[in-house]
Amino acid sequence: MLDLHGLTRDEIRVQFSRWRLSPVHADRLWYHLYLRCAASFDAMDDLPARVRARLAAEATLGPPRVAREMHSSDGFTRKFLLALAGAGQPVVETVLMRFTGRVTACLSSQAGCAMGCVFCATGQMGFQRNLTAGEIVAQAVHVARALQPRRDDDPQSRLRNIVLMGMGEPLLNYDAVMRAVEIMRDTAGFALGSDRITLSTVGIVPGIIRLASEPRPVHLAVSLHAATQEERAALVPPARKWPLDELMRACRHYSERTGRRIFYEWTLIEGKNDRESDARAVGRLLKGTRAQVNLIPLNPTAGYGGAPAGREAARHFQKILADEFALPSTVRQRRGIDIAAGCGQLAGAAGV
């Protein structure tokens, strides 16, 4: 069966040609997939019955089953636990976040994660499998559907940004992730610009090199969290395979090749990496590079006992980066902590 959400618009046109169906119907199907976000073939009522019958017989629309939906008390965040098809019916979590003037979807690229970052709930649960491109795209479609009915004059009723920062390591599912990006960028669909999609990696050096060589229209975010090899390896196990100096060479190569800055993510853990010495260490490491530092106060997980840095520590960290190293930084707005929807908190529940 064809997973329609895993096909580009051109591929759908080619398939319709093989079926000896008009390309006009192919374009109409695309409209239903990404502008109406139809959940069934029956909802595509302006397609001829014979077209809908062919689709029903040979293709899947693929909306994931919603096992659970949670609303945060912050009023801005919704989390969806989505059950996928296949052996064991793995589940992934997808988050809808509202900010001033925009809506962002945080998508998962894998069910679980093999990276084992000590403060991350997904890493604590282990790896199940890669997602297909269609399963990645279907998450975005689900968020867009949740925003309906859409009003063109309301920026909060339209999906505007995608962050591949959910469950999993995107660069270890590279081909599926990039196909999903291509589908979501189609100007006749979600029409997401290159400044609207951000991919976050724990530091998979071969993937960063590949991303630099192609190049792909996405922002790159790198989970740093420590400025020495020893400290980083204690928090981020992949650093043992790709040491900090090797990672930084790859990051400099990426910026030089693409002309893009990199967003370096720094989870602020009280008493561990939130001190003045830590701010100066990351300042020295990134000085002179195309960089912005995203400071993320630690979000609680059951498997890690650290505490988030306080507001004053975060502001002082920012001030050192700005005043001594001319490095821009932001403190990440916390969203959905009460429903475990924040960075590092996603972990699909079993048995749902």
With a cut of 90, say whether residue 85 has pLDDT above it.
Answer: no
Q: Residue 351 above 50 pLDDT?
A: no
Given the residues 37, 106, 251, 343, select the one marked as catalytic: 343
Q: What percent of the chain has pLDDT over 90?
A: 78
* 207 shares its domain with 285: yes
- Which residue among the candidates 37, 93, 117, 251 is catalytic per the annotation? 93
pLDDT of the residue at 265: 97
pLDDT digits (tens, 9 = 90+) for 27-40: 999 999 999 999 99
- Which residues, other chains included, contact 215 with Cβ-Cβ below 8 Å and sequence gap of 6+? 257, 258
Same domain, 129 and 188: yes
- pLDDT for the residue numbered 281: 97
Q: Is the residue at 173 inside a domain?
A: yes
What confidence tens digit (pLDDT) does each residue in 291-326 have?
Answer: 999 999 998 888 888 999 999 999 999 999 999 999
Residues 42 and 155 in one domain: no
| Catalytic status, residue 256 | no
Q: Is residue 346 part of a domain?
A: no
Parent domain of 172: 65-339
Separation between Cα atoms, residue 15 and residue 352, nearest integer Å = 35
In this predicted structure, what is the pLDDT of residue 151? Answer: 54
Q: Are 279 and 211 found together in one domain?
A: yes
Q: Give yes or no for residue 284 having a pLDDT over 90.
A: yes
Asked if 183 and 296 sit in the same domain, the reply is yes
**Residue where a domain terminates, one of 43, 60, 77:** 60
Band of pLDDT at residue 87, cut at 50, 70 and 90:
low
Residue whose C-alpha is closest to residue 8's, from 219, 220, 178:
178
Beta bridge partners of 3: 60
Per-residue pLDDT for 334 more than 80? no
pLDDT for the residue numbered 154: 59
pLDDT at 65: 87
State mean pLDDT over 159-173.
Answer: 96
* CATH at 51: 1.10.150.530
> What residues form DSSP beta bridges with 93?
81
Contact 181, 216 (CB under 8 A): yes
Range scoring the smallest mean pLDDT among 64-73, 152-161, 251-260, 333-342: 152-161
Q: Is residue 240 predicted with pLDDT exceeding 70?
A: yes
Confidence of residue 161 (pLDDT cuts 50, 70, 90): very high
Q: How confident is the model at residue 101 (pLDDT cuts 50, 70, 90)?
A: confident
Which of the four pLDDT bands, split at 50, 70 and 90, describes residue 24? very high
How many distinct structural domains can be found in the chain? Answer: 2
Query: 204 forms bridges with which residues in the sheet?
Result: none
Residue 347 falls within a domain, yes or no?
Answer: no
Q: Which of the four pLDDT bands, split at 50, 70 and 90, describes residue 352? A: very low
Asked if residue 349 belongs to a domain, the reply is no
Annotation says 93 is catalytic:
yes
Has residue 80 been placed in a domain? yes
Residue 349 clears pLDDT 60, i.e. is over it: no
Amino acid in the structure at residue 144: A
**Average model confidence (pLDDT) across the chain:** 92
Residue at 351 is within a domain? no
Q: Do 48 and 70 belong together in one domain?
A: no
Would you say residue 251 lies in a domain?
yes
Domain co-membership, 203 together with 111: yes
For residue 350, pLDDT over 50 is answered with: no
Is 36 part of any domain?
Answer: yes
Q: Are residues 230 and 249 in the same domain?
A: yes
Average pLDDT on 178-186 reads: 97
Mean pLDDT is lowest, of 129-138, 144-153, 182-191, 220-229, for: 144-153
Residue 153 has pLDDT above 80, yes or no: no
176 shares its domain with 155: yes
Considering the domain architecture, whether residues 53 and 158 belong to the same structural domain is answered as no
Share of the chain above pLDDT 70, in %: 95
Nearest-angstrom CA–CA distance, 119 and 267: 9
78/225 same-domain check:
yes
